[in-house]
Amino acid sequence: MPKRAAIFIDRDGTLIDDVGYIKKISEVRFYPFTIEALSLLQPHFCFFIITNQSGIGKGLTTEDEVSVVNQYIVETLKKEGINIEEVYSCPHKSEDDCACKKPKTQFIEKANEQHDIDLNKSFIIGDHPSDVQCGINAGIFPIYLLTGHGTMHQHEIDAETVVCPNILEASKYIITKHNLV
């Protein structure tokens, strides 16, 4: 079976509005362009969500709360014909110096081992400099978004990094870049 290209997607500020440490599904607000963006890419890529959820380590949310929210996101997207292969969630604070918090690449490596990913044709999309650095560290193409925390941290992004206003524009960029129309 040939390797598959993947899109590694940040959660808060990329797929859904970043409203802080989400504890309940009632706090989840998808961006109006999320479904269209993922629908454009679904025929060509498999999807993984990689999310840093330091609220768990800080005692502001629980692993169960984050798991319920993640499952709700996956199920909501599935109803729209979007398949998320896996959700990888880091529960640690930055000072824990864990192996899984972006910009470290443990979750990309795990996805590659379990799903045989073609990293040379894969992307990571997110609104934090750690998303971009994670992609660089893993050898996949990063795209930085201006949604969520994007505009606040844009000055921290290298000038060569592709910057898009939102995930829909990032999806269009990927489709164009790979002539997938």
The string of pLDDT tens digits covering residues 121-174 is 999 999 999 999 999 999 999 999 999 999 999 999 999 999 999 999 999 999
In a domain, 11, yes or no: yes
Q: Return the exposure string of 90-100: e unless at least 16 CB atoms fall within 10 Å of the residue's CB, then b.
A: bbbbeeeeeeb
In a domain, 126, yes or no: no
Reading phi first (left if > 0) and then psi (alpha if -120 to 50, else beta), residue 42 is in alpha
Residue with tokens 């079976």, as numbered in its chain? 1
In a domain, 61, yes or no: yes
In a domain, 161, yes or no: yes
Residue 1 has pLDDT above 80, yes or no: no
Q: What angle do CA 93, 98, 101 make, to 5 degrees?
A: 70
Q: Which residue range is the domain that position 140 belongs to?
A: 6-119+134-177
Catalytic site includes residue 10: yes
In a domain, 97, yes or no: yes
Distance CA 105, CA 124 (A): 11
Q: Return the exposure string of 109-148: e unless at least 16 CB atoms fall within 10 Å of the residue's CB, then b.
A: eebbeeeebebeebbbbbbbbbbbbbbbbbebbbbbbbbb
Residue 89 has pLDDT above 90, yes or no: yes
In a domain, 124, yes or no: no
Residue 31 has pLDDT above 90, yes or no: yes
Catalytic site includes residue 12: yes
The active-site residue out of 10, 118, 131, 158 is 10
In a domain, 125, yes or no: no
- Tokens read off for 177: 């870049």
Residue 179 has pLDDT above 90, yes or no: no
In a domain, 148, yes or no: yes
Distance CA 15, CA 28 (A): 10
pLDDT band at residue 2 using 50, 70 and 90 as cut-offs:
confident
Give the CATH number, domain containing residue 139. 3.40.50.1000
Count of domains observed in the chain: 1
Burial of 154 (0-12, 13-18, 19+ CB in 10 A): middle
